[in-house]
Copies of this chain bind each other. A is one copy, B any other.
Amino acid sequence: MKKFCNDPKNYVPDMLKGIALANQDKLKYIPDYNLIMRADIPQPNKVSIMQGSGSGHEPAHVMIVGKGMLDAACPGNVFAAPPPDYVYQTTKLIAGPMGVLHLLNNYTGDTMSFDTGRELAEAEGIEVRTVVINDDVAVKDSTYTVGRRGVAGNFFVIKAVGAASERGATLEELEKLGNRVVSVTRTFGVALTGCTPPAKGTPIFTLEEDEMEMGIGIHGEPGRKRVKIQPADKIIDEVFAIVADDLPYKAGDEVALMINGMGGTPISELYILYGHAHELAEKRGLKIKRHYVGEYCTSLEMAGFSLTLVKLDPELEDLLAAPAEAAIHIF
């Protein structure tokens, strides 16, 4: 295993320590619950928003806590949903008079932890609503009762509800908004390599030199099918069609287009992929109003990408364009 880390058991706390030290003015870190939260939360006129999920998806979610984004994140270990107690304690700590919005990616572990944590918080009179994100079209919804996974599309849900909450939206409005974003967001992922959870020390899966995996999730779960590696444009041809046909996105639709890196793919490759996706979107008559190329929701050092389309309306576009802050930044 080639990683910059100390004791693999401390992978998550060591990372959180780094985030906390870098942002002492804006963030609070509570090691007991892997909790990174805004220092200025709760606020009387704002719903507090949190997401859990496992670690290993950075910047999601601990590095996108900030004004206009998440108010708190309490990740579990790498690829493990947070323990129910983290969810409960975090909910209590961020709860203001307007309540708490739980965002979660649709995985059994996360759902279970958040259900339990919510029950405990509600028992103490905290109002909680939940938006379940399930943008991954790789999973065929009908086949399994677990439903679609939540993947990189969660960024758009967070960004939208984060912006709306700063403008004073109620818990109910945010729940509605979140679900509306989910309903217009679709994603599909591809991997060239597996990834190695630090505590496991070996790759979750391995691909031959000429193979790629279509339809991966963000936990290194193998995907829909394993095929021979293709030129970038060919891959995008297939992936774009799968995503665009799903909603479907139609000529005249205004969209946001995201090429998300899985952690080990350089941004040069992401732009190669973006270029052809942009061409296909235009060919289909979609109007690209916003674009996102970079790492938003990763699987450790996996080489791979996902493509996300979001259908925009003026309100949503405005929320996505609203100013926001996060630990990750360029300048």
A interface residue numbers (CB < 8 A to B): 2-7, 11, 14-22, 55-56, 58-59, 63, 159, 192-193, 207, 209, 212, 229, 231-233, 235, 263-276, 278-279, 291, 293-295, 298, 300-301, 303, 305, 320-321, 323-324, 326, 328-331
Contact = CB atoms under 8 A, between A and B. Distances in A.
A267 B305 contact: no
A265 B18 contact: no
Q: Could you say how many copies of this chain the assembly holds?
A: 2
A274 B21 contact: yes
Given A6-B231, A6-B233, A63-B271, 18 more contacts: A2-B209, A3-B192, A5-B231, A5-B272, A6-B272, A15-B271, A15-B275, A18-B271, A18-B272, A18-B273, A18-B274, A18-B275, A18-B278, A22-B293, A58-B268, A63-B267, A263-B266, A264-B264
Contacts of A212: 2
Closest 10 CB pairs of A and B: A18-B275, A18-B271, A2-B192, A263-B266, A21-B278, A18-B274, A4-B269, A17-B275, A58-B268, A4-B232
A59 B295 CA distance: 13
Chain B CB within 10 Å, residue with most, of A4, A20, A231: A4
Nearest to A293: B22
A270 B271 CA distance: 22
A327 to B, nearest CB: 8
B59 A14 contact: no
15 contacts: A4-B192, A6-B233, A6-B272, A17-B275, A55-B268, A58-B267, A58-B271, A59-B267, A63-B271, A264-B301, A266-B298, A321-B331, A323-B331, A328-B330, A329-B330
Given A4-B235, A5-B269, A291 B22 contact: yes
A92 B81 CA distance: 56
